[in-house]
C-alpha cells in the first residue's frame, strides 16, 4: 500500500471553530462590560404580600440619626437594635452628604449585633 504524500493541511475546519469561539467570546464580553444581563422575570399568580414591616434608619446630611422617623443618638440606636430580633428587616437610608463616620458606625453596630436582613436604600441615577 502506498502512503500519500502530505503536502498541505486543511485549515478550513480550524477557521470555523475559531469563528464560533470568537462569536461566543464577543457575546459574553458585552454582558461582562455592562455588568448585568437583562432579564424579564416571570409573573406569579399566587403572590403573598410582605406583611413584615421594615424598620427604617435614616441619616441626614448633618449626621442626625432617625429610627422609624424619631431622632436618636448612636448609643440609643445600639440599645434599640440589640432589643430587636436578628431576623428583623432593616433599611438604611443616608443622604449623599452624610458624614461617612456616622454611616460606618451604624454598619459596625449591624455587624456587632449580627443583624442579617439589612437593605441600604439608594435612588436610581438618571
Provide the pLDDT confidence category of residue 37 given band limits of 50, 70 and 90: very low
Query: Does 22 map to a domain?
Result: no
Average confidence (pLDDT) over 87-112: 87
For residues 46 and 39, which has the higher predicted lDDT (pLDDT)?
A: 46
Query: Does 48 map to a domain?
Result: no
Q: How many domains does the chain have?
A: 1
pLDDT at 108: 92
Query: Does 102 map to a domain?
Result: yes
For residues 67 and 4, which has the higher predicted lDDT (pLDDT)?
A: 67
Sign of CA dihedral 80, 76, 74, 55: positive
Query: Does 62 map to a domain?
Result: yes
For residues 78 and 53, which has the higher predicted lDDT (pLDDT)?
A: 78
Domain span at residue 113 reads 55-121
CATH code at 114?
A: 3.30.420.270
Query: Does 46 map to a domain?
Result: no
Query: Does 108 map to a domain?
Result: yes
Amino acid at each position: 500500500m502506498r502512503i500519500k504524500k502530505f503536502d498541505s493541511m486543511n485549515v478550513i475546519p480550524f477557521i470555523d471553530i475559531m469563528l464560533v469561539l470568537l462569536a461566543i467570546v464577543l457575546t459574553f464580553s458585552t454582558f461582562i462590560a455592562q455588568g448585568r444581563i437583562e432579564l424579564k422575570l416571570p409573573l406569579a399568580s399566587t403572590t403573598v404580600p410582605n406583611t413584615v414591616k421594615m424598620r427604617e434608619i435614616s441619616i441626614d446630611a448633618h449626621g442626625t440619626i432617625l429610627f422609624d422617623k424619631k431622632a436618636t443618638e448612636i448609643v440609643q440606636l445600639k440599645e434599640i437594635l440589640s432589643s430587636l430580633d436578628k431576623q428583623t428587616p432593616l433599611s438604611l437610608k443616608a443622604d449623599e452628604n452624610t458624614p461617612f463616620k456616622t454611616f460606618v458606625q451604624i454598619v459596625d453596630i449591624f455587624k456587632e449585633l449580627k443583624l442579617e436582613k439589612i437593605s441600604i436604600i439608594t435612588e436610581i441615577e438618571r
